[in-house]
Amino acid sequence: MQTSTLVLLLLILSAAAYRAGRFRSLSLVGGLRGARNLHSLPGYYGLLTALWCAIPSLLILALWHAVDGRIVTQMVVAGMSSETQALPPGQLSLVLNDVRNLVAGAIPPEMASLEVQAAAERYIRLDSLSRLAAAVVCLSIALGVGGAVWLRISPNLRARNRVETIVRGALIACSTIAIFTTVGIVVSVLFEAIRFFQLVPVTEFLFGLQWSPQLAIRADQVGSSGAFGAVPLFTGTLLIAGIAMLVAVPVGLFSAIYLAEYAARRVRAVIKPVLEVLAGIPTVVYGFFAALVVGPMLRQSGEGIGLDVSSESALAAGLVMGIMIIPFVSSLADDMITAVPRSLRDGSYGLGATQSETIRRVVFPAALPGIVGGVLLAISRAIGETMIVVMAAGLGANLTANPLEAVTTVTTQIVTLLVGDQEFDSPKTLAAFALGLVLFLATLSLNIIALHVVRKYREQYE
Amino acid sequence: MSDTDLGPAAVENAAKRTRRLVEKSLKRRYRAERRFRAYGMLAVALGLVFVGFLFSSIISTGWTIFQQSYVQLDIRYDAEVVDPAGERDEQAISTADYSALIKAALRERFPDVEGRSERRSLYGLASDAGQFELRERVMADPDLIGSTQTLWLLADDRVDLLMKGKIDRDLPEDQRGLSDQELGWIDSLLANGRLDLRFNRAFFTNGDSREPEQAGVWGAVVGSFFTLLVTLLLSFPIGVAAAVYLEEFAPRNRVTDFIEVNINNLAAVPSIVFGLLGLAVFIQLFGLPRSAPVVGGLVLTLMTLPTIIIASRAALKGVPPSIREAALGMGASQVQTVAHHVLPLAMPGMLTGAIIGMARALGESAPLLMIGMVAFIVDIPGGLTDPSTVLPVQVYLWADSPERAFLERTSGAILVLLGFLLIMNATAVILRQKFERRW
Amino acid sequence: MVFVSSAEASIKTAPASRASGSAPPERTAAGQRTVGDITVKNPVIVCRDVNVYYGDKHAIRNVSLDIAHNEVIAMIGPSGCGKSTFLRCLNRLNDTIPTALVSGAISLEGQDIYDKRQDVVQLRARVGMVFQKPNPFPKSVYENVAYGPRIHGLAADRTELDEIVQTSLQRAGLWEEVKDRLEQPGTALSGGQQQRLCIARTIAVNPEVILMDEPCSALDPIATARIEDLIDELKQNYAICIVTHSMQQAARVSQRTAYFHLGDLIEVGSTDQIFTNPRHKLTEDYITGRFG
Ligand SMILES: Nc1ncnc2c1ncn2[C@@H]1O[C@H](COP(=O)(O)OP(=O)(O)OP(=O)(O)O)[C@@H](O)[C@H]1O
Ligand SMILES: [Mg+2]
């Protein structure tokens, strides 16, 4: 039975359970007239029955699905010849891929070996068996649990309270997903990163100056051959992020100041949304802009004045990233500036300060903590930005501070290492997770500090 | 305090001195004031210039995408080629060499072209896509075999570039990409009205292709649709539920504080990290298929959830407590109060948040690269587990292609993407304005 | 029985004031005339027919009043009657509110302050202001006081600045308390100290007039008493305009009192007279607590 059919069937079943529960509660008290003798409205009895019918069975189904693929695969492997079973994991997974492709009809049967064909047949058989078993188990759970609740319906059953408890539980479950996501990120990234650090020492990764992961997959190289020094990536990331901040902070800050303090209300109403358009543009568009418009343009103008500008220069990526971050900085700065209480401005004007003196010497210092927090968030953004650098920055790990040269970044390398075929045991793939860990920790600490600073700032002015 | 008592005369003098010094400082200060103001204006102007430059460069390279060069040929459905056995066997018809028909038609148009290499460059004027169209026509109506039809068929991408003025005729032959001879053919076709720019259906109905003139966005649009469908169906209910719990039910304690910190941090975690999570958990651990919209949707759900939770909480905060008190006062339970009174009032705000979250998810590409939605996929996906790509990733793929003609496709795909974003954001704005309430 | 101030006379004593056109200046929009003598012999500020609008709201109607050298004038009246608004006209702080519109004539030492040639920076340096809520800048105590002299360029070097800071703090009666913590943030002081810091900040630029908008409303009685002493000291050198809700305070510190009601200046007179023998019914009601 198809999973979707099974889910549909379960839903129909619970709809029926709703009617049955409702009907039973009413018939116990002799129809609608007696409804006042029920503890809760009849609908709640129906709902309670339906929920108990649907939730456990759907949970079991989800669990089944999470594991059945592996179990079936393992059983298929167990049924294969011992030579095949003895294959190294990488090759075994290739064989299994063939089996799966055969099952999916992606390759014609003639092209597969006999063993693969046999395995595919077994796979199909086991798979349909598993589906059938899932259907039987889930349906019987639905009927069994739903029926048990149905039988327990009595006028005194506090159906509403129970439904509400279930609802509350569901709400709590939903709100803990954020925690699970964080834990998932930490655990998965950390797990793979630790595997990487078993192959390559941490110190080498963090302090090595040489990055050339491609070498490591060559047969004559061992994983820890000294090509995983990530310092050039860190410096490249910082270089591009630095250029971005050099663009974004002054432009963002000054435009925020101008719009918040100087611009007439109507001007502000027009210009602010236009600038905020920049925030809504997908990063891939900025990547395109950097790689195909700004990069070549910089290169050409560099040629014009006799400068050798790489077509994948850090400057192009940084400039465009800066443009992307402008609205982020300016809207945060705008919030912070408008949060500065009027009384401070009055105090300054009352002493005879001009508007710019008031802004520079009173408003800006007062808003500084908030602005610093915003800038930290912006830095975290710049470090984690991926598409612009993937498209416009280079792949070669250059250890340089020259913005006209090509550098590579942490995110660029993560993408290059993971896009395409992966073997999950090669240090090349695992290195991406180690980089991911560094990236996550760096941005996390920036975020925590920034959010803390901003919150403290907000509290200060209520 | 007598030592500090200056006496009226001294104060009088001090005031005069102040007046004089202030007077003296005014010029400098107003200059500084103007300078400062000018910086602000400069910053705003720079921002506007960036916006203008960005859009003009995209639009100027992309607006031609709505049209594509087609060449008009007299196609004779030669029975010898299409169905040599004459049995109208579907298998035979579908595997016939339709490109031969196009080649014959081109030879007919330019009968004096001799020699293998010259002929080959002549055939190069028409796109490969023509043969598939011919096959479709014949499969749909086998009676065509033996007849002749005048058809507009896709031209090669180089012809298209020339037609759109993106190849400079005056360049030397070896830098132009089109030989003088090819140019001559093109001019002759043009002179006879057999080469023209027509509406570019292929771009809006095809999947990806290695040939620029055949590549379209539809596959990516459908992929984006499926991915966003999963994202919306998961993130909206979960996000609203989480927001309702945190805003309406949760006690203020360490656990809820921790949840809150988590949500705020997740909102600022780089999207690529979610891609790593998706790769490690959904694909490695759970064995879900790569390149599938369902996995993409799951990853984007985790990514947009914080946005939706934060927006939904703001919407719930906007519902005045008096409404809750009124409902509770009438004997409604807390769950009933929220479900019947608070949620409906907060719904427009939540929907707005959801749409904005979806718009962000639509533009997101980095995490999807991690889970393999970056493959070259020609077929239009038909379901949640079919390999597919999404619009922004399509942009990325095309931007990487060396052929010049893909530049136009890239900008065209960006325009399509921005069009969708515009619609979504406009919906959000309208929704907000329509339902904005002031209590 | 009611004494009506002579409008002609008052206009003559206000050289720069624009003679109003149509409506008789002493007649307020509500048909109310200000009771008592609005003029003084040695005026520093002269106001004639001042009207203030916040958009459509008419917050001050035809107020005419003189403020004398070396006197403390108290402005009293129920909440929302326009005392702060009037005060903020005197140093054109209302200019910073986009919706506010001021008409009428106000002159400082004979110069029309709303004249195009009058520079607001210059004006505000001459007419200092202390606000209801202490609003020290988020800077050190020292920097708070040094702020005005710095922006106006009143000190040639650091020693001079130090001196200005010290004398200002001394005259504000704060020096002894803060002389060892000049580098601490001004916001870390107590409320009363903060308010005295704001006063020090104001007198550091050597203004001619000090406007005080309920300077003690956020303070306890002891801090209030200190500020009142301070006002007493300062009046030897400055003209001081103080808005207060405390009748006792008005009686203690001021020589003249002006009573505002719903945007009208109802009555002006010597403080003694206002509190012992108010001439207008509204004033009497307010003083005796039957109103507001
Ligand atoms: N910025 C503003 N915009 C619009 N109306 C204002 C503004 N400031 C004050 N008002 C209105 O002008 C009137 C006078 O206000 P003002 O602050 O001068 O009163 P007040 O006498 O100082 O009162 P209080 O004793 O409470 O300080 C009030 O009705 C007030 O609502
Ligand atoms: Mg006031």
Give the model confidence (pLDDT) of B44-54 as tens digits: 999 999 999 99
Judge if the beta carbon of residue C133 lies within 6 A of ligand 1: no
**Pairwise pLDDT comparison (A448 vs C5), residue with the higher score:** A448
Report how far residue B45's alpha carbon sits from residue A251's, in angstroms, rounded to the nearest whole number. 9
Q: B287 — contact with chain A (CB < 8 Å)? A: yes
Could you give the percent of chain C with pLDDT greater than 90?
43
**Taking CB atoms and an 8 Å cut-off, how many pairs form between chains B and C?**
56
pLDDT at position C28 is 42
Ligand 2 centroid–CA C80 distance in Å is 7
Confidence band (pLDDT; 50, 70, 90) for B391? very high
Of A157, A179, A197, the residue at which a domain comes to its end is: A157
CATH code of the domain in which A319 resides: 1.10.3720.10
Could you give the percent of chain C with pLDDT greater than 70?
88
CA distance A401 to chain C (A): 37
- The residue nearest atom 5 of ligand 1, judged by CA position, is C54
Q: Kindly give the pairing relationship between strand C256-261 and strand C72-76.
A: parallel
- Whether residue C7 has pLDDT greater than 90: no
Q: A286 and A419: one domain?
A: yes
Q: Kindly give the pairing relationship between strand B148-154 and strand B67-76.
A: antiparallel
Confidence band (pLDDT; 50, 70, 90) for B437? low
Q: What mean pLDDT do residues B361-367 have?
A: 93
Report how far residue C199's alpha carbon sits from residue C229's, in angstroms, rounded to the nearest whole number. 13
Domain count for chain A = 2
pLDDT at position B364 is 93
In a domain, C86, yes or no: yes
Ligand 2 centroid–CA A45 distance in Å is 61
CA distance B46 to chain C (A): 27
Q: What mean pLDDT do residues B137-161 have?
A: 85
**Which ligand is closest to the CA of C77, given by its number?**
1
Q: Which domain holds residue A58?
A: 3-157
Mark out the alpha helices in A176-212 (DSSP H runs).
Answer: 177-199, 202-207
Q: A126 and A261: one domain?
A: no
Q: CA B106 → CA A237, B73, B97, B134, B194, distances in Å? A: 54, 7, 15, 15, 12
Q: A132 and A263: one domain?
A: no
Contacts of B243 in chain A (CB under 8 A): 175
**Pairwise pLDDT comparison (C169 vs C35), residue with the higher score:** C169
- Whole-angstrom distance between the N-terminal and C-terminal Cα of chain A? 59
Q: What mean pLDDT do residues B410-414 have?
A: 93
**DSSP code, position A290:** I
In a domain, C193, yes or no: no
> What digits encode the pLDDT tens for the residues B193-202?
888 888 888 8
B113-123 exposure pattern, b = at least 16 Cβ within 10 A, e = fewer: eeeeeeeebbb
Q: At what angle do helices A364-384 and A427-460 cross, to 10 degrees?
A: 160
Confidence band (pLDDT; 50, 70, 90) for C30? very low
In a domain, A293, yes or no: yes
pLDDT at position B7 is 60
> What digits encode the pLDDT tens for the residues A212-229?
876 444 455 444 455 788
Range with the largest mean pLDDT of A367-371, B35-39, B347-351: B35-39
> What digits encode the pLDDT tens for the residues C51-78?
999 988 999 999 999 999 889 999 999 9
- The residue nearest atom 2 of ligand 1, judged by CA position, is C54
- Whether residue C211 has pLDDT greater than 70: yes
- Whether residue A42 has pLDDT greater than 60: yes
Kindly list the domain boundaries of chain B, sorted by start residue: 70-198, 218-435
Q: Contact at 8 Å (CB) between A397 and A232?
A: yes
Contacts of A288 in chain B (CB under 8 A): 58, 395, 399, 410-411, 414
pLDDT at position A412 is 92
Judge if the beta carbon of residue C172 lies within 6 A of ligand 1: no
Ligand 1 centroid–CA B199 distance in Å is 65
Of A115, A132, A157, the residue at which a domain comes to its end is: A157
**Pairwise pLDDT comparison (A171 vs B87), residue with the higher score:** A171
pLDDT at position A402 is 86
In a domain, A183, yes or no: no
Q: C124 — contact with chain B (CB < 8 Å)? A: no
Domain count for chain C = 1
Q: What mean pLDDT do residues B401-414 have?
A: 89
Q: CA B123 → CA A30, B104, B107, B109, B119, distances in Å? A: 85, 9, 8, 11, 6
A350/C133 CB distance under 8 A: no
CATH code of the domain in which C96 resides: 3.40.50.300
pLDDT at position C172 is 85
Q: C236 — contact with chain B (CB < 8 Å)? A: yes
Judge if the beta carbon of residue C94 lies within 6 A of ligand 1: no
Q: Is B168 helix (H, G, I), strand (E, B) or coil?
A: coil
pLDDT at position B87 is 79
Judge if the beta carbon of residue C59 lies within 6 A of ligand 1: yes
- Whether residue C272 has pLDDT greater than 70: yes
Which residue of B lies nearest to A252 if distances are taken between CA atoms? Answer: B43
Report how far residue A85's alpha carbon sits from residue A77's, in angstroms, rounded to the nearest whole number. 7
pLDDT at position C21 is 38
In a domain, A199, yes or no: no
pLDDT at position A74 is 82
Of A157, A191, A210, the residue at which a domain comes to its end is: A157
B218-435 placed in CATH 3.30.110.30: no
- Whether residue B1 has pLDDT greater than 80: no
Confidence band (pLDDT; 50, 70, 90) for C10? very low
User: Which residue is associated with the tokens 């630095």?
Assistant: A242
Q: What mean pLDDT do residues A108-120 have?
A: 78
- Identify the burial level of A81 via C-beta atoms within 10 angstroms of its C-beta, where 0-12 means exposed, 13-18 middle and 19 or more buried: exposed
- Whether residue C85 has pLDDT greater than 80: yes
C138, C139, C205 member nearest A352 (Cβ): C205
Q: Is B149 helix (H, G, I), strand (E, B) or coil?
A: strand
- The residue nearest atom 3 of ligand 1, judged by CA position, is C54
pLDDT at position B307 is 92
In a domain, A143, yes or no: yes
- Whether residue C37 has pLDDT greater than 70: yes
- The residue of A171, A292, A454 whose CB has the most chain B CBs within 10 angstroms, and thus the best one to mutate to test that interface, is A171
Report how far residue C223's alpha carbon sits from residue C225's, in angstroms, rounded to the nearest whole number. 5
> What digits encode the pLDDT tens for the residues C226-235?
889 889 888 8
Which residue of B lies nearest to A165 if distances are taken between CA atoms? Answer: B335
pLDDT at position A355 is 92
**DSSP code, position B248:** I
Q: A128 and A232: one domain?
A: no
- Whether residue B181 has pLDDT greater than 90: no
- Identify the burial level of A250 via C-beta atoms within 10 angstroms of its C-beta, where 0-12 means exposed, 13-18 middle and 19 or more buried: middle
Confidence band (pLDDT; 50, 70, 90) for B5? low
Range with the largest mean pLDDT of A146-160, B25-39, B284-298: B25-39
pLDDT at position A155 is 82
- Whether residue A243 has pLDDT greater than 60: yes
A366/C98 CB distance under 8 A: no
Q: What mean pLDDT do residues C82-94 have?
A: 91
Q: Contact at 8 Å (CB) between A223 and A197?
A: no
Q: Which domain holds residue C282?
A: 28-133+207-287
Q: CA C207 → CA C121, C211, C240, distances in Å? A: 12, 10, 10
Could you give the percent of chain A with pLDDT greater than 70?
95
Half-sphere exposure for B36 (CA within 13 Å, toward CB): 21
pLDDT at position C147 is 94
In a domain, C184, yes or no: no
Q: B42 — contact with chain C (CB < 8 Å)? A: no
- Kindly list the strands in the beta sheet with C239-243, ordered across the sheet, starting from the edge strand earlier in the chain: C127-130, C209-213, C239-243, C72-76, C256-261, C264-270
Judge if the beta carbon of residue C129 lies within 6 A of ligand 1: no
Q: Is the ipTM of this complex over 0.85?
A: yes
Q: What mean pLDDT do residues A409-419 have?
A: 90
A347/C152 CB distance under 8 A: no
Confidence band (pLDDT; 50, 70, 90) for B99? confident
Confidence band (pLDDT; 50, 70, 90) for C14? very low
Please give the number of the atom of ligand 1 that sits closest to the Cα of C87: 18
Say which residues have a Cβ less than 8 Å from residue C238's Cβ, sequence separation at least 6: B11, C70, C203, C207, C208, C209, C210
B366/A386 CB distance under 8 A: yes
Q: Kindly give the pairing relationship between strand C100-108 and strand C43-54.
A: antiparallel
Judge if the beta carbon of residue C52 lies within 6 A of ligand 1: no
Among the residue ranges A296-310, A362-376, B378-392, C10-24, the one predicted with the least confidence is C10-24
User: Which residue is associated with the tokens 């009968």?
Assistant: B111
In a domain, C2, yes or no: no
pLDDT at position C118 is 86
Which residue of A lies nearest to B358 if distances are taken between CA atoms? Answer: A280
pLDDT at position B439 is 53
